[in-house]
Amino acid sequence: MSALLSVTDKAKDQLQTLDVNHAKFLRLWVGEGGCSGMSYQAVIDDNATALDIVLYQDDDIKIVSDNTSKSYLEGITIDYEDDLVKSGFRFINPNAVKTCGCGGSFQA
């Protein structure tokens, strides 16, 4: 299976720290909101559905989404920064025409 998004090693390590593992996965979707119009939403989940689309999976982690959000998430890179000023997950979306300064919202 080919991954629809990429995850940096730092982000993988942080996801595992947050208990994303073989029993739990990251559910990622896009919703309205944020200063650029659309925002990334995520939750750690253990309840898979028949409608889940696997965006990424390796030996350690799995990331799923819904069909509507899939088109907004294809091609993104999930990274994690842990510097003194700003730490957290970053979504690098080459398909976004506009993003906010914090990287949490975008415009398609």
Which residues pair with residue 38 across a beta bridge? 32, 106
pTM for this entry: 0.83
The answer to whether position 53 is within a domain reads yes
pLDDT at 39: 82
Residue 89 domain-assigned (yes or no): yes
For residue 22, tell me if it sits in a domain. yes
CATH number assigned to the domain comprising residue 65:
2.60.300.12
| Tokens at 14, concatenated | 């942080």
| 49, part of any domain | yes
Q: Give the residue numbers spanning the domain of 42.
A: 6-107
Pairing mode of beta strands 62-65, 25-32:
parallel
* Domain count across the chain: 1
pLDDT in tens, 36-68: 577 888 999 999 999 999 999 999 999 999 999
Q: What is the DSSP letter of 90?
A: E
Where does the chain have alpha helices with state H? 9-17, 67-73
